[in-house]
Structure 1
Amino acid sequence: MNFKELKLNKHLLRAVAEKNYDDPTAIQEMAIPVVLQKNDLIASAETGTGKTAAFALPILQLLFDKQETSEKGRKIKALIISPTRELASQIYESFMDYGKYTHLTSAVIYGGTKIEPQIAILKKGVDILVATPGRLLDLHKQDLVNLDYVETLVLDEADLMLDMGFIDDVKKIERLCPNEKQTLLFSATMPFKVVQLADTILKDPKKLAVTPTSSAAATVHQLLYYTPKPNKIELCLYLLRNTIKGNILIFRRTKYGVDKLEKTLRNNNFKVDSLHGDKSQEERQAALGKFKQGVTNILVATDVAARGLDIDELDAVINFDLPNIPETYVHRIGRTGRAGNTGTSYAFCSADEKGYLSTIQKLMQKHIQVVDDHPYPLDPKAKPQVHKKQGSKHKKGRKSAASKKKKKRWY
């Protein structure tokens, strides 16, 4: 199938052609007709499968025929909610790219930056608004956002949105929009709480799924290194010096871990930067910009910061810490090998992560290739480290004899 067969108008087809998209991806082929028919939709698709175009193109098509010519009369007709600032920015850029030959206007609002320029844009009037939940509700409280005319509401990366604690905000935003609207929910994974949310806010939705496991496994060469936890940093340095070249994204579980690894790599003269939730929006954008421009070639990140980042030509992903949710592993390795390119992923597994590894392999229905030939192997008999809290040697509620002697009685 090509884009013409999806019944998109010539203005959108021209913009798509300029992006060098030849054929629609699986999610675009399935979702675009559903959205154009104004059905509600729940779609399971990971980032990197082209899902932004799967909702952006049909939304632009639906609004195209009714677009206002004057700026003043513009009302928010499409609202896209995104969990992170980076994702919101990328979605906004996609709407700008696809809608460049229409007269439709788009805007993006998110926290962590000055509110005044965002207020000025909203006062001019926009057709399509991309927003993070917190900033949107702030501006609504100040009567600066009117959601009474929303025709299509999109909840993108719903699983991440709920993981970040936005469920009440999302429900509130949905209630602020009209009852008679089309709602599209996209989620990389479908945990119970996402299904529950969909049941409460979607009306008779069409269900679509693009399985992430097969697509990620097909284009990414996966390698597994068993190594003791204290040797992970040495193994990482060894591989970066001898094996892994190009643009590299390294995942760690915690912000502290990200900072620690970044410092070590910098001390070893690697060009490195980092991304995590404690960094300001300016710092995150700067780190991403330097990486995309080639000033740095290594980015160390937590999952929340790296979700949905659109980085072209990523050569390798290193799972420094294995994730406890198997789908997260699939997302991580899916950052490389995108859009038909090939990539390599490296996973470090210590004794206490073997349980995580087995659930990952079960999800993907394949065993990851093990590399034994490296200087920091894990002893096959190694047991997970158990950190026991040192308890008091005294029984609870019992004073020592010395303490009793010293005690001056008041009676």
Structure 2
Amino acid sequence: MGKKAKSKPIIEEETTTESGFSQFDLDERILKAIGELGWEKPTQVQESLIPLALEGKNILARARTGSGKTAAFLLPIIQNVVQISSSNEEEAGPYAIFIAPTKELASQIFKLLIQLTSPFPFLQCINFAEMDESNVETMLGEVVDMIVSTPGRIVNAVATKPSLLNNVRHVVLDEADLLLSFGYKDEMEKIKEALPKTYQSIFTSATLNENMDDIKAMLMTGPVVSLKLKEGQLPGSDQLTQYHINCQSDEERFTILLSLIKLKLIVGKTIVFVSSTDRCYKLSLFLQAFKIQSCILNSQMPANYRCHIVREFNEGRHQFIIASDMNDIAPKESEAAAATAEDEPPAKKKKKQKKPKKGKRKMDKESGVARGIDFHFVSNVINFDFPTSTDIYIHRVGRTARGFNKGTAISFAIPTEMPLVENVHEEINEMMGEDKILPYNIRMKDFEGFQLRAREALTACTKTVIREARLGEIKQEILRSKQLEAYFSKNPREKAALENDKKLFKVNLHSTSIADVPDYIVPKPLRGQDYSVKTNSSVNRNRKRKMSAGQKKKKQKSMDPLQSFKF
């Protein structure tokens, strides 16, 4: 394993961000790429980390989520790789590797890396995490300068090409504390064996502990500078507003969320976190019954489709995304979360969880939602099921109020989740120095009309309907599969059968107008506003086109004397 890395005293940085990126003496082409991204000034973590990284220091950096950590380590390493590749013709790359615990995070790092290296056509960057095994083997024959990957993919690549990491000068671990908690210890040891004796290490995360002896001893060589910024792990109350809502039952939780959305008290792009994959589909079907469209993100989806959903959400095609990620929760904690989620006695849940169901879809080990992923311009984060630890709370809530933007976090909790609530509140208050999570008082009497409708919709969202929804998603995955394109081209009937296969079970409601919001169910202080459901503008435009085309044809017919003549 080598000698244990020595840590220097923690450097507590408190810097101003008035000067621009030119202060770092970066290459003019890098500054041009920064300008095209619209970055006007560096964030606090960037001002602190970039100079240390340019000096070649080993860095262990903790900064809150959304503070610009990715750019903080990319910029100095791109600068160094540009200098190495232009002056060194004997050694072949890669010169830098960026390791992330999840495929989504690797994809995000790679996207920003491509944007920042766009002025350097001679630099070759690849992302192993989003490639098939066959494509990885093909790329190993190419000259590569920088690699982004998850641990498993890079270990497989090293097994195929043992000399792959011989000339690496920079190793970056993003969300470093997750790499061990996700069970990547064996992979990290194999990566260490393939690396040269000396290289620069940069480890970043929002929840790095000061005692990181295991990870430092595993991958760091030489002295380590621990960088801890003088800022909370969450933004201040002027940027992030945090609320907590007590619910007496799971039905109340669904009712309150429905009411907040329908009464337009929740506005803007929103991420809703739930405790399990089935809860994703149940909540999505529930909202769909009230004509509230949402998309789903969970670890049982294929990696490409998960990245596609994140991309569509960032582009503004969806307002609500319902996310569950069991990789963000330890196995024991996930069982506890599932037990509290349905508001049932723990004894019943334990009986159900004794034997795993046959044919259950496997969860992707290299998936992640709550941590690291940069969802763009998220106005609200809703913890529909309360998180099982403070770290998970911090990373979920950290999806909003990123950079210099503002955001709101709302956490629901039923009585069985109150021990978790008290623990998180205590730790957050101690961390931030004051009470940051405010009570959001709800009078259920004001929402009686919504509660009756929510009860009807929940009754209709049976396990059979949820299973049918998941089956429909599998069918769509099959139809979208590139590997099956050749098969479907030879067997068009089977493709047609899948496309025309109708759902046997769906959410059956007694009233078709359940999605309407009549004035009598609206609380008195909020009456008088328009709560009608807006239809898709593109659909309306298509209807107008069809109507105008029909009117035009009718007009032409009326003007033709041979067709309009009457006896």
Aligned residue for 1:373, secondary structure, equals coil
Task: Using the aligned pairs only, state the percent identity.
Answer: 28
What does residue 244 of structure 1 align with? 266
1:368 pairs with one of 434, 437, 443:
437
CA drift at 1:245: 2.0
- Whole-Å separation in 1 of the counterparts to 2:389 and 2:210: 14
CA drift at 1:216: 5.4
- Whole-Å separation in 2 of the counterparts to 1:212 and 1:254: 29
Q: Please report the RMSD computed on the Cα atoms of aligned residues, expressed in angstroms.
A: 2.4
- Whole-Å separation in 2 of the counterparts to 1:145 and 1:224: 53
- Whole-Å separation in 2 of the counterparts to 1:214 and 1:90: 21
Q: Retained in 2: the 8 A contact 1:222–1:345?
A: yes
What does residue 359 of structure 1 align with? 423
Closer/same/farther in 2, CA of residues 58 and 192 from structure 1, 3 Å limit: closer
Closer/same/farther in 2, CA of residues 367 and 2 from structure 1, 3 Å limit: closer
What does residue 190 of structure 2 align with? 172
- 1:270-296, CA deviations, whole angstroms, 9 ceiling, x for partnerless residues? 211111111101221232233223332
1:188 pairs with one of 192, 196, 206:
206
Q: Retained in 2: the 8 A contact 1:227–1:376?
A: no
TM-score (ref. length: structure 1): 0.85
Closer/same/farther in 2, CA of residues 357 and 122 from structure 1, 3 Å limit: same
- 1:6-44, CA deviations, whole angstroms, 9 ceiling, x for partnerless residues? 221211111111111111111111111111111111111
- 1:13-28 paired onto structure 2 within 5 Å: 13-28=31-46
| Structure 2 residue identity aligned to 1:373 | I
Closer/same/farther in 2, CA of residues 273 and 145 from structure 1, 3 Å limit: farther
What does residue 372 of structure 2 align with? 308
1:320 pairs with one of 384, 388, 396:
384
What does residue 400 of structure 1 align with? none
2:275 pairs with one of 237, 250, 253:
253
What does residue 126 of structure 1 align with? 144
- 1:107-256 paired onto structure 2 within 5 Å: 107-110=126-129, 113-143=131-161, 146-191=164-209, 194-202=212-220, 203-210=222-229, 211-215=231-235, 217-230=237-250, 231-242=252-263, 243-256=265-278
What does residue 335 of structure 1 align with? 399
CA drift at 1:70: 11
1:29 pairs with one of 25, 47, 56:
47
| Structure 1 residue identity aligned to 2:384 | F
Closer/same/farther in 2, CA of residues 142 and 39 from structure 1, 3 Å limit: same
CA drift at 1:123: 2.0
CA drift at 1:73: 6.8
Q: Retained in 2: the 8 A contact 1:216–1:330?
A: no
Aligned residue for 1:170, secondary structure, equals helix
Q: Retained in 2: the 8 A contact 1:321–1:349?
A: yes
- Whole-Å separation in 2 of the counterparts to 1:246 and 1:354: 28
- 1:300-328, CA deviations, whole angstroms, 9 ceiling, x for partnerless residues? 11253232222221111101112121132
TM-score (ref. length: structure 2): 0.62
- 1:23-74, CA deviations, whole angstroms, 9 ceiling, x for partnerless residues? 1111111111111111111111233110111111000111111215999974
Q: Retained in 1: the 8 A contact 2:188–2:218?
A: no
- Whole-Å separation in 2 of the counterparts to 1:263 and 1:47: 31
CA drift at 1:174: 2.0
1:275 pairs with one of 279, 297, 301:
297
CA drift at 1:212: 4.0
Larger of the two Rg values belongs to structure: 2
The answer to whether 1:49 aligns with 2:113 is: no
Closer/same/farther in 2, CA of residues 255 and 200 from structure 1, 3 Å limit: same
| Structure 2 residue identity aligned to 1:327 | D
2:306 pairs with one of 260, 280, 284:
284
- Whole-Å separation in 2 of the counterparts to 1:223 and 1:340: 20
Q: Retained in 2: the 8 A contact 1:225–1:372?
A: yes
- Whole-Å separation in 2 of the counterparts to 1:299 and 1:137: 33
CA drift at 1:178: 0.6
- Whole-Å separation in 2 of the counterparts to 1:71 and 1:49: 37
CA drift at 1:194: 4.0
CA drift at 1:191: 4.2
Q: Retained in 1: the 8 A contact 2:370–2:395?
A: no
1:2 pairs with one of 7, 15, 20:
20
Closer/same/farther in 2, CA of residues 272 and 194 from structure 1, 3 Å limit: farther
Closer/same/farther in 2, CA of residues 176 and 237 from structure 1, 3 Å limit: same
Q: Retained in 2: the 8 A contact 1:217–1:364?
A: no
Aligned residue for 2:171, secondary structure, equals strand
Aligned residue for 1:305, secondary structure, equals coil
1:350 pairs with one of 410, 414, 424:
414
Closer/same/farther in 2, CA of residues 145 and 352 from structure 1, 3 Å limit: farther
- 1:336-362, CA deviations, whole angstroms, 9 ceiling, x for partnerless residues? 111211111111022222222223223
| Structure 2 residue identity aligned to 1:252 | V
CA drift at 1:262: 2.2
Q: Retained in 1: the 8 A contact 2:64–2:234?
A: no
Aligned residue for 2:45, secondary structure, equals helix
| Structure 2 residue identity aligned to 1:237 | L
Closer/same/farther in 2, CA of residues 72 and 316 from structure 1, 3 Å limit: farther
Q: Retained in 1: the 8 A contact 2:103–2:150?
A: yes
- Whole-Å separation in 1 of the counterparts to 2:192 and 2:211: 16
| Structure 2 residue identity aligned to 1:221 | T
Aligned residue for 1:56, secondary structure, equals helix
What does residue 388 of structure 1 align with? none
CA drift at 1:259: 2.8
- Whole-Å separation in 2 of the counterparts to 1:253 and 1:192: 29
Q: Retained in 1: the 8 A contact 2:189–2:218?
A: no
Unaligned runs of 5+ in 2: 1-18, 329-367, 430-434, 447-567
- Whole-Å separation in 2 of the counterparts to 1:217 and 1:176: 46
Q: Retained in 2: the 8 A contact 1:119–1:144?
A: no
- Whole-Å separation in 2 of the counterparts to 1:282 and 1:94: 18
CA drift at 1:214: 4.7
| Structure 2 residue identity aligned to 1:258 | C
CA drift at 1:195: 4.1
CA drift at 1:364: 2.8
CA drift at 1:196: 2.5
Aligned residue for 1:317, secondary structure, equals strand
Q: Give the paired residue count.
A: 376
